[in-house]
Amino acid sequence: MSELQKPVIGITCGDLNGIGTELIIKSLHDNRILDVCVPVVFASSKSINFYRKSLADINFVFNTTKDLTRLNPKQVNVFNCWEEEVAITPGQLNEIGGKYARISLQFAIDGLKSGHLQGLVTAPINKKNIQSPEFNYTGHTPYLRDQLGVKDVVMILAADNMRVAVVTEHVPVKDITQFLSKEIILSKLQVLNFSLQKDFGIDKPKIAVLALNPHAGDEGLIGNEEETIIKPAIKEAKYKNVLAFGPFSADAFFARGQHEKFDAVLAMYHDQGLIPFKSLSVGEGINYTAGLPIVRTSPDHGTAFDIAGKGKADPSSFIDAIFKAVDIARQRSFYEDNHRNPLRKMSAMVVANAEDERIEEQ
């Protein structure tokens, strides 16, 4: 692959006192990652060096820059977002961790808006200490939605064997029903469906929709949201060429392996989707934000203050998030190219079918 074809992937540092920087060093020190992308870490060389000292067995070399037009495609690039000395205290929840997580994220978003980045991988933040007048959000997902000017997004947890999306994200359980309506569920289904096509390469995705109440409401005996909100949304989605099915009772759905029959599952709330995902996903899953004009992934875990600075952080999910960002950036390019020239896709299918027939004849 030529240097020009490799996507430029921005990587935020997350909370400076969490495991983010350690994960970045562990994920990027192997030069083979430079074969598939040009990584740009939004932090400072000083914060990188602080954590590099505690990882003496890792040889991590990087290029520093303050200009996204002058990246070194043969090295990891660290974009210096700040020059001042910062008191890093691994494992501590304080305002410093949140402040520099915001700064890193904003520089990365500027890079996305300017078109210099083709994807973004976000290291974990703490949702409490990152709060400020500039960041009054429950997490990355709604913040990126507003910063990038889109109407709706969907959080997807993805692994090799399953994809689970959620209608509501970080809201109290007692308030979930306030964020559910036929229109909201329909919007999430449409965003999810298009993302499965554009980002994951599935032409006609099948989406399972989970019920909100136990036993799918038992026809109104245990809540009526299924009858008044969820079923009407599924019905209307089908009129809009979204293959949605359900609502399925959440307790039996995963236990019986029904998720394996669908390309994605739409859960009504955070824990309804994430508990089975984290229990059943093969290896480390990743978090993907569907509906953005850019590609954004993240690991499926938090700041892990309890092990920060101890060299114990497992980079598996972070590495997966980087490679998934690359894969989706490529898939998007393929999708857009095919839809600009549908004859090219048809020609490719004819060639592929001919090759399959040739192999079967041998």
pLDDT at 218: 74
Q: What is the pLDDT along the chain (362 residues), one digit of tens a residue?
A: 344 479 999 999 999 999 999 999 999 999 899 999 999 999 999 999 999 988 988 989 999 999 999 999 999 999 999 999 999 999 999 999 999 999 999 999 999 999 999 999 999 999 999 999 989 998 899 999 999 999 999 999 999 889 999 999 888 999 999 999 999 999 999 999 999 999 999 999 999 999 998 887 677 777 889 999 999 999 999 999 999 999 999 989 998 999 999 999 999 999 999 999 988 886 678 999 999 999 999 998 889 999 999 999 999 999 999 999 999 999 998 888 787 765 555 555 455 455 445 444 44
From 286, 314, 341, give the residue that closes a domain. Answer: 286
Q: What pLDDT, on a 0 to 100 scale, did the predictor assign at position 352?
A: 46
pLDDT of residue 1: 39
Does 157 lie in the same domain as 137? no
CATH of the domain at 95: 3.40.718.10
In a shared domain, residues 140 and 161 = no
Q: Are residues 209 and 307 in the same domain?
A: no
Q: Do 93 and 169 share a domain, yes or no?
A: no
Three-state SS annotation for the chain:
CCHHHCCEEEEECCCCCCCHHHHHHHHHCCHHHHHCCEEEEEECHHHHHHHHCCCCCCCCCEEEECCCCCCCCCCEEEEECCCCCCCCCCCCCCHHHHHHHHHHHHHHHHHHHCCCCCEEECCCCCCCCCCECCECCCCHHHHHHHHCCCCCCEEEEEECCEEEEECCCCCCHHHHHHHCCHHHHHHHHHHHHHHHHHCCCCCCCEEEEECCCHHHHHCEECECHHHHHHHHHHHHHHHCCCEEEEEECHHHHHHCCHHHHCCEEEECCHHHHHHHHHHHCCCCCEEEEECCCCEEEEECCCCCHHHCCCCCCCCHHHHHHHHHHHHHHHHHHHHHHHHHCHHHHHHHHHHHHHHHHHHHHC
Residues 123 and 29 in one domain: yes
Q: Are residues 174 and 98 in the same domain?
A: no
Residues 135 and 240 occupy one common structural domain: no
Residues 336 and 262 in one domain: no
Range(s) of the domain holding residue 263: 151-286
For residues 13 and 139, state if they share a domain.
yes
Note the pLDDT tens digit of each residue in 183-214: 999 999 999 999 999 999 999 999 999 999 88
